[in-house]
């Protein structure tokens, strides 16, 4: 369809609906699309919240062990990286922890622990005291063993 303006020289050709974009519709349809989009976003947020609540109520991946239960761990024959500036790494060391705290540091074989202590062989591995590696990504429960010497 052609339209002529007052001077007769300017012509504008309009196309039918076939040449229009799906989003190029009347005001009423735009309102419906905006409401539909808002509804989709709202449903997504409600679903995400519901999933997070369900996951938070599930059992943890590993049992929570109280720190003050006398639990002992002995890391044997590790290369210890001291966190004080200027110190060299210490090879062939044993580190004992009790109740979640470092209890003893000495050359391998010189630290005494109870018979129930968990012993971890750290031969060829490094040990960093404290919480120096606080950012990790655990994809599976079995990955947790990788963070023990």
pLDDT in tens, 115-126: 888 899 999 998
Torsion (CA) 136, 142, 145, 146 in degrees, nearest 10: -50
Q: Pick the more confident residue, 33 or 65.
A: 33
> Alpha helix (H) ranges present in 2-149?
27-57
Torsion angles phi and psi, residue 146, rounded to 5:
-65, -25
Confidence of residue 27 (pLDDT cuts 50, 70, 90): low
CATH number of 72-147: 2.30.40.10
Confidence of residue 92 (pLDDT cuts 50, 70, 90): very high
In 3-state terms, the chain is what percent helix, strand and coil (to 5)? 30, 25, 50
Instruction: Please provide the average confidence, as pLDDT, over all residues in the chain.
Output: 77
Q: How many CB atoms lie within 10 A of CB 40?
A: 10
Which pLDDT score is estimated for 71?
76
> Alpha helix (H) ranges present in 18-130?
27-57
Residue 58: pLDDT above 90?
A: no
Confidence of residue 94 (pLDDT cuts 50, 70, 90): very high
Confidence of residue 84 (pLDDT cuts 50, 70, 90): confident
């Amino acid at each position: 369809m052609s339209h002529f303006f007052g001077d007769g020289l300017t012509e504008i050709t309009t196309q039918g609906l076939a040449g229009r974009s799906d989003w190029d519709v009347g005001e009423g349809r735009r309102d419906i699309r905006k409401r539909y989009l808002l509804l989709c976003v709202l449903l997504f947020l409600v679903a995400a919240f519901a999933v997070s609540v369900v996951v938070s109520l599930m059992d943890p991946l590993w049992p929570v062990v109280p720190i003050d239960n006398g639990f002992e761990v002995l890391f044997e024959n590790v290369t210890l990286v001291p966190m004080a500036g200027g110190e060299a790494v210490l090879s062939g060391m044993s580190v004992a922890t009790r109740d979640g705290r470092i209890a003893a540091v000495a050359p391998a074989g010189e630290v005494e622990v109870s018979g129930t202590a968990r012993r971890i062989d750290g031969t060829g591995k490094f040990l960093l005291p404290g919480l120096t590696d606080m950012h990790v990504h655990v994809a599976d429960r079995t990955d947790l063993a990788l963070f023990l010497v």
